[in-house]
Amino acid sequence: MERSTFLSSIMHDVGLPLIRAIIKYGPNQNEDAIAAEMATLLTQTVQSNDYIKDTLDIKELATQNSELHLILTSLSSKIIAAHYERTKTPPTDQDLKRFMGAINALLAFSEDYMPIISLTEAYPENKQTPSVSPRHTTDLTYISVFLPLINAVARFSFGLNETRMIQNVSERLNARTAQIRSNLLGDTLNDTDKKSAELSILGTLVDLYASCHMQEIDRITTLSSTAPDTQDSTQQIENIWMLFEHRVSLLFGLARDASLTDISANFTALFEEAEALDDIEAPEEEEEEEYTPMTFYKKK
């Protein structure tokens, strides 16, 4: 990767999430205060990066591959920025270790999404650098997809152990993903296409769940300021899943009901109609008679 491209990626993928979080949620807009807070968050990003490399056992590999190192740092930056947005303070070392526990809980399911393209296939210019195995690529992609879930559970886990809740939710989302993929696309796809499709669906489901999780937190918070919530944590979690399934039905219902045959037929009809319009000859325009001073005297 060219140096200019690499530096641009660092600014956009690593620096931008942090500076946005500081500007939006930081306690002081003074430039010196922002710079000091940025330095702290960058230090925490490096620490988080090291923890992720240890978790995935790719420390040596990341040292040899600049692209992998950038992806890891970008992932760490998003984790740190999300924590700062939630708490308005830099994460402690204990906070980072909690994140790593959540990541470990997720990795048990990442094998379901093998194979995913290697980094050299995604970035052909890196073919001369040491390649990253599909195993590591899958792990990193999977962690990135599940970041909204990690952040939501870190906000509030409804009295459950965070790691256990992440495992339960991810297991349920994985099962729902396979079901939706089967309903929408059938079971005739090859293994690579099937897993790629499921990863796309999974990303949507994770975002949906995270929004429902946060909505239930907001509901409880609002109630606690007016009247106590009489529901226990089990019912509160059930509220999340009921809202989630409702949104899933809205999102995927139309796609499920419209079969590929119907879509194909609609497009065929559309093209046939367009061709028919092309075949209709435009009416010949009458030749406009050139006007001269003697036109008035022409015989009728």
Residues 81 and 101 in one domain: no
The verdict on 223 and 100 lying in the same domain is yes
pLDDT for position 211: 93
Let me know whether 102 and 215 are in one domain.
yes
First CA to last CA across the chain, in angstroms? 81
Q: Examine residue 122 and state whether it is found in any structural domain, yes or no.
A: no
Among 98-102, 213-217, 228-232, 288-292, name the most confident range: 213-217
Give yes or no for residue 88 having a pLDDT over 90. no
Is residue 107 located within the same domain as residue 176? yes
Flag whether 125 is in a domain. Answer: no
pLDDT at 294: 44
Q: For 6-15, 40-49, 167-176, 196-205, which range has the lowest pLDDT when averaged over its residues?
A: 6-15
Residue % of the chain over a pLDDT of 70: 69
Give per-residue pLDDT as tens, 133-172.
Answer: 445 666 777 788 888 998 899 889 998 988 889 989 999 9
Calculate the alpha carbon distances from 163 to 153, 154, 170, 200, 281 in Å: 9, 10, 11, 24, 69
| Same domain, yes or no: 25 and 43 | yes
pLDDT tens per residue across span 212-263: 999 999 888 887 666 666 778 899 999 999 999 998 888 876 555 554 445 4
Residue 203: pLDDT over 80: yes
Q: Are residues 83 and 109 in the same domain?
A: no
**Per the domain annotation, does 192 fall within a domain?**
yes
Question: DSSP letter string over 10-61?
Answer: IIIIIIHHHHHHHHHH-S---HHHHHHHHHHHHHHHHHHHHHHHHHHT-HHH
Give yes or no: residues 252 and 152 share one domain: yes
State whether 65 and 21 are in the same domain.
yes
Q: Are residues 73 and 178 in the same domain?
A: no
Q: What is the number of domains present in the chain?
A: 2
State the pLDDT at residue 117: 44
pLDDT band at 113 (very low <50, low <70, confident <90, very high): low
Average pLDDT on 19-43 reads 82
Answer yes or no: is 279 within a domain.
no
147 and 171, same domain (yes or no): yes
Across the chain, mean pLDDT equals 76
Q: Is residue 247 in a domain?
A: yes
Does position 11 have pLDDT exceeding 50, yes or no? yes
Tens of pLDDT along 37-62? 888 999 999 888 888 888 888 888 77
Q: What is the pLDDT of residue 124?
A: 44
Q: Which pLDDT belongs to residue 183?
A: 84
Least confident of 89-93, 265-269, 274-278: 265-269
The confidence score (pLDDT) of residue 225 equals 64
Q: For position 128, what pLDDT does the model report?
A: 46
Domain membership flag for residue 220:
yes
Q: What average pLDDT does the segment 75-95 reach?
A: 88
Residue 266: alpha-carbon gap to chain centroid: 31
Integer CA distances (angstroms), 214 to 153, 240, 248, 262, in order: 9, 9, 16, 37
Domain span at 31: 8-91
Question: Has residue 127 been placed in a domain?
Answer: no
Distance (Å, whole) CA 14 – CA 45: 9
Residue 271 lies in a domain: no
Do 108 and 14 share a structural domain? no
101 and 209 co-located in one domain: yes
- What's the pLDDT score for residue 237? 93
